[in-house]
A = this chain, B = another copy of it.
Amino acid sequence: MPAIHLTVDIVVFHMLEDELHVLLVKRGYDPFKNCWALPGGFVEENEALDDAVIRELKEETSVTDVYCEQLYTFGGLGRDPRHRTVTVAYMALMPSDKQPQLEAGTDAADASWFKVKKLPKLAFDHADIVAYGMERLQNKLEWTTAGFKLLPKRFTLTQLQRVYESVLGRELDKRNFRRKVELLDVLDPLEKFDRSGSSRPARLYEFSEKRFEKLKDKGILFPF
């Protein structure tokens, strides 16, 4: 059998202060020592790919139960200067109410969040992987309910709009956005309000899985 090393790398997206961020770890060892890179690591022999992702996420953020999705497998020669390494890239959507404890893992000296608009130089071909993840997230946003997976359980419509704006990289019209959301009919309005701002309180909403399922039954798959 050819000695091909198999790893997973994860683009973890997270909303901080109305801006989309990505989790990076500072590498403690060569190659690319002290360089920022995506969290990830080797796949074990008796471990499914998806389980490797869950394990790595837990090791580096102590967070479980986040949405994960496979992106693409990068298998060119010369990705890793030392070995032939093929990596299966994933993205994860971490809700903004989860408080990840960024722990220095085995081969990670440090970890922190970076705005997708201002990323440092990355190790390996990880810049390509992040770009691919962004593209996927942008597409998913318009076809699926991925946007809600970046928000806490209760959120305001403006928060939701900020997710869309930050991911798509452009401003959206408030009224058209809200009409579209209302038409979708997957949000439950609450009798609670966000009073954290210094202006008129904003109504809080919850995403309703039940209503979303009804849409699918009607054949209206992803009206977003």
Report which A residues bind B (CB closer than 8 A): 1-6, 42-50, 70, 72-73, 75-77, 84, 86, 88
Interchain CB contact under 8 A, A4 and B45: yes
> Quick one: copies of this chain in the complex?
2
What are 20 sample pairs from A and B whose C-beta atoms fall under 8 A apart?
Answer: A2-B43, A2-B44, A3-B45, A4-B4, A4-B43, A4-B45, A6-B6, A6-B86, A43-B75, A43-B86, A45-B84, A46-B77, A47-B77, A48-B75, A48-B77, A49-B76, A50-B75, A70-B73, A73-B73, A86-B88
Name A49's contact: one of B1, B3, B48, B86 (CB within 8 Å). Answer: B86
Which residues of the other chain, B, contact A45 by a CB distance below 8 angstroms? 2-4, 84
Cα-based distance from A178 to B216 in the complex (angstroms)? 30
Task: Kindly state the separation between the CA atoms of A2 and B48 in the bound complex, as whole angstroms.
Answer: 13
List, in ascending order, chain B residues with CB within 8 A of A70's CB.
72-73
Alpha-carbon distance A72/B72, docked complex (angstroms): 7
Asked if A48 meets B72 with Cβ closer than 8 Å, knowing A6-B2, A42-B2, the reply is no
Q: How far is the CA of A42 from the CA of B49 in the complex (A)?
A: 18
From B2, B3, B5, B75, A88 is in contact (CB under 8 Å) with: B75
Chain B's closest residue to A88 (CB) is B73
Rounded to whole angstroms, the CA-CA distance of A76 and B51 in the bound complex is: 9
Docked CA distance A77–B77 (Å): 26
- B contact residues around A77 at 8 Å (CB): 46-48
Cα distance, A54 to B77, chains bound together (Å): 15
A84 to B44, CA, bound (A): 10
| Residue among A3, A48, A50 facing the most chain B CB atoms (10 A cut-off) | A48
Q: Lowest 8 A-B CB distances belong to which pairs?
A: A49-B75, A2-B45, A73-B73, A48-B76, A73-B88, A4-B6, A48-B77, A45-B84
